[in-house]
């Protein structure tokens, strides 16, 4: 067999094995905003645990540092942070030994009295989006909701649902509770239908 043929075969094999090497990051509690002092568990979920996923983060103090390296306690493919403080706020993602990355999640930690509970993962077009404005003790107080700094409406029980979201609902949301305070802002993304990229057909298209 010619050397170049062997190289092409290796290249093809690596392309074919790519799509299985995917992880998704989930967070519990599932909220993009947390109160200072809350604990959180982040998990890299994958079919192929041998890929050796590690959790990394970017904050104002860390750039790509891994769980256990000055923050968090690794436990299997999860990472626990027992007591969140403001500088734990940032972007978290999973990375394999080979450098493949998962989706990323942005977490905001506040020392203030109000948080907006919004989805950590993008909302699919057509689904309902529910936002909750809460204090540490209560999640059903009257609250005002804002998008991109414009007032939307007041909800008497702290929950606002937007039915059948579309791309135009994507934006920066926050809320306030009268005589308590205002939450930080969080970005809510809306995505279209999931498109999976097929390496095999693209290979055939490119190389035939």
Ligand X SMILES: *[C@@H]1O[C@H](CO)[C@@H](O)[C@H](O)[C@H]1NC(C)=O
Which burial class, exposed, middle or buried, applies to 66 when counting CB atoms under 10 A from its CB (0-12, 13-18, 19+)?
middle
177 binds ligand X (CB under 6 A): yes
Where are the strands (E) in the chain, listed by range? Answer: 23-28, 33-35, 40-46, 54-58, 63-66, 73-75, 78-81, 90-95, 101-110, 115-117, 123-124, 129-134, 143-147, 150-155, 159-162, 171-177, 181-182, 186-188, 190-191
Beta carbon of residue 165, minimum distance to ligand X (angstroms, whole number): 23
Beta carbon of residue 109, minimum distance to ligand X (angstroms, whole number): 17
Q: Which of residues 58-117 bind ligand X (CB under 6 A)?
A: 58, 63-64, 91, 93, 104
Beta carbon of residue 4, minimum distance to ligand X (angstroms, whole number): 35
Question: Judged by CB, which is closer to ligand X: 95, or 198?
Answer: 95
* Number of residues forming the site for ligand X (CB under 6 A): 13
Beta carbon of residue 140, minimum distance to ligand X (angstroms, whole number): 13
144 binds ligand X (CB under 6 A): yes
152 binds ligand X (CB under 6 A): no
**DSSP code of residue 156:** T
Q: Which of residues 186-205 bind ligand X (CB under 6 A)?
A: none
Full DSSP string of 107-122? EEEESSS-EEE--SSP
Residues that bind ligand X (CB under 6 A): 58, 63-64, 91, 93, 104, 142-144, 154, 176-178
């Amino acid at each position: 067999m010619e050397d170049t043929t062997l190289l092409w075969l290796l290249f093809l094999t690596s392309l074919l094995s790519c799509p299985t090497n995917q992880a998704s990051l989930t967070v519990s509690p599932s909220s993009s905003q947390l109160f200072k002092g809350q604990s959180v568990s982040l998990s890299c979920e994958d079919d192929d645990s041998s890929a050796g996923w590690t959790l990394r983060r970017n904050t104002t103090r860390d750039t790509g540092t891994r769980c256990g390296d000055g923050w968090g306690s690794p436990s299997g493919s999860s990472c626990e942070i027992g007591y969140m403080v403001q500088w734990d706020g940032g972007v978290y993602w999973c990375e394999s030994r080979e450098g493949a990355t998962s989706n990323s999640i942005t977490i905001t930690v506040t020392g203030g009295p109000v948080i907006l509970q919004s989805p950590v993962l993008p909302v699919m077009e057509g689904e309902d989006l529910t936002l909750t404005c809460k204090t540490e003790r209560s999640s059903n107080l009257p609250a005002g909701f804002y998008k991109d700094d414009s007032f939307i409406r007041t909800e008497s029980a702290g929950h606002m649902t937007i039915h059948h979201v579309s791309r135009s609902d994507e934006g920066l949301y926050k809320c306030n509770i009268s005589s308590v305070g205002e939450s930080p802002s969080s970005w809510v993304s809306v995505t279209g239908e999931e498109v999976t990229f097929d390496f095999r057909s693209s290979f055939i298209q490119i190389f035939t």
